[in-house]
Amino acid sequence: MSKTVSRIPLPSPALGTSRTVTVHRYGQPGARPKAYVQAGLHADELPGMLAAHHLLRRLDTLDAAGAIHGEIVVVPVANPIGLSQSVLEYHVGRFALDGRGNFNRHYPDLAPIVAPRIAGQLTDDAERNVRLVRAALLAALAEQQPAGETGALRQLLLGLSIDADIVLDLHCDNRAPVHVYLGTALWPDAEDLARDVGAEAVLLADESGDNPFDEANSAPWWVLRRLLGDDHPLPPACLAATIELRGQADVDDATAGADADALIRFLQRRGVVAGDPGPLPEARCDATPLAGNEMLRAPVAGIVTYSQPLGARLRRGEHVADIVDPTADPALARTPLHAGVDGVLWSQCLHRLVRPGDIVAKIAGAEPIEGRGAILLTT
């Protein structure tokens, strides 16, 4: 068996405290393809962590059979900081309570550092260029001096993944079907991933804003190509994706086991793991631009009720939900919300009491929405 398990300490945030990140490794270090899988970066999103548990069980069996062809790194709980945060008996795992923001934002932007260092060194050998860039990315990341425990966590996770061929970051939404975020340059090559995991929406962007983890891994490749020009081949050599495994309440062994099976099939298809993945499932959706994703917001406070189910194919102007004020005259108590685009309703609130400005639904439209701005993700 090739498996090793390590526990990497984070810098202590206070006297008498310490936290570690547990890393499971399979295959030979440096073998290709390298796949990196993590879960729980938003520590209150449990479906991915349970899926990672089932994935490790399957990888243990495959490892014992000598079926790991590449290198696989799995971090089943990527955020021990957020896992420990509780406020008034409510788990808060999306944001750092030390004020350092969303755990899935603000990763180091390495391309502008690497570009001048490798300028003039690229050749007509694409494989050599990929090796050169990976080494330069690792070196640039190692030079960073992050502030505090949260910054150290970001640097650690990126250091485990930045040289991988495949990076899968497992998350979930409030209430949603499976959906996937990808860089535009990775499509349609990554369609097998979307089909294997059963994605009901695939959302594409070159830059979604604030440098989330998946883009910190994948975007340097197309940014470097833009900065250095097209004289020499430089492919998008990291397929990094955020996979949203439904909603926060979708936590059970049967579902998590099926998700782990889907990930194994994808890794087989990509040559990381031996075995026959079987025929590729039918696509459940078309890819759409993240800039075409409409976020319906509550104009008033109240209780949100939905008139459309998740997955509904909507037309512009269709009634989606009401915001109900139970204190108002019943004839005036409902504020309706309507779709502003044609598209798929892929996200709803888990908690139904909303305030003005809260996002109550998301609709994946096929065309960019004018005026969306540079920040395409939620906070």
> Are 160 and 205 members of one domain?
yes
Instruction: Write down which residue in 267, 285, 303 finishes a domain.
Output: 285
Burial 59-78, CB ≥16 within 10 A → b, else e: beebbeeebbbbbbbbbbbb
One pLDDT digit (tens) per residue for the chain, 379 residues: 789 999 999 999 989 999 999 999 999 999 999 999 999 999 999 999 999 999 999 999 999 999 999 999 999 999 999 999 999 988 999 999 988 899 999 999 999 999 999 999 999 999 999 999 999 999 999 999 998 999 999 999 999 999 999 999 999 999 999 999 999 999 999 999 999 999 999 999 999 999 999 999 999 999 999 999 999 999 999 999 999 999 999 999 999 999 999 999 999 999 999 999 999 999 999 999 999 999 999 999 999 999 999 999 999 999 999 999 999 999 999 999 999 999 999 999 999 999 999 999 999 999 999 888 888 898 7
- The reply to whether 21 falls in a domain is yes
Give the alpha-carbon dihedral of 355, 357, 363, 367, to 10 degrees. Answer: 180
The count of domains in the chain is 2
* Spatial separation of the C-alpha atoms in residues 229 and 127, rounded to whole Å: 17
Position of tokens 């690497």?
114
Q: What are phi and psi of 175, to 5 degrees?
A: -135, 120
Beta-bridged to residue 102, according to DSSP, are 95
Question: 285, 310, 340: which is the final residue of a domain?
Answer: 285
Say yes or no: 308 and 260 in one domain. no
The domain containing residue 318 runs over which residues? 290-365
Secondary structure (DSSP) of 59-114 = HHHHHHTT-B-SEEEEES---HHHHT-EETTEE--SEETTTTEETTS-----HHHH
Q: For the chain, how big is the Rg over CA atoms in Å?
A: 21
Q: What is the pTM of this model?
A: 0.97
The answer to whether residues 267 and 294 belong to one domain is no
With tokens 């932007």, the residue in question is 109
Are 50 and 251 a contacting pair, CB within 8 Å? yes
Residue 59: closest CA among 85, 36, 83, 80: 36
> Are 220 and 307 in the same domain?
no
Instruction: Assess whether 262 and 295 both reside in one domain.
Output: no
Task: Please check whether residues 237 and 312 belong to one and the same domain.
Answer: no
If asked whether residues 262 and 340 sit together in one domain, one would say no
**H or E element, residue 269:** helix 253-269
Say if residues 269 and 341 touch (Cβ distance below 8 Å): no
In which element (H, E) is residue 255 found? helix 253-269
The answer for residues whose C-beta is within 8 angstroms of residue 172's C-beta and 6 or more apart is 45, 46, 47, 48, 244, 245, 246, 247, 248, 250
Q: Are residues 23 and 76 in the same domain?
A: yes
Same structural domain for residues 242 and 213?
A: yes
Q: The tokens of 358 are what?
A: 């809260």
Asked if residue 142 lies in contact with residue 159, where contact means CB atoms within 8 angstroms, the answer is yes
Residue 308 lies in a domain: yes
User: Does one domain contain both 163 and 256?
Assistant: yes
Q: Are residues 14 and 147 in the same domain?
A: yes
Q: What is the pLDDT of residue 152?
A: 96
Residue 140's closest CA among 242, 240, 224?
Answer: 224
| Structure-token pair, residue 82 | 């957020």
Q: Give the N- to C-terminal CA distance of the chain in Å, as an integer.
A: 42
Which residues, in sequence order, are CB contacts of 266 under 8 Å at separation 6+? 192, 193, 196, 197, 277
> What is the residue type of 349?
C
Cis omega before residue 368 (within 30°)?
A: no
**Domain of 146: which CATH number?**
3.40.630.10
29 assigned to some structural domain: yes
User: What would the DSSP string read from start to end of 116-164?
Assistant: HHHTTT--S-HHHHHHHHHHHHHHHHHT----HHHHHHHHHHHHHHTT-
Rounded to 5 degrees, φ, ψ at 113 are -75, -40
Contact 78, 150 (CB under 8 A): no
Does 10 reside within a domain? yes
Last residue of one domain, picked from the residues 265, 285, 305: 285
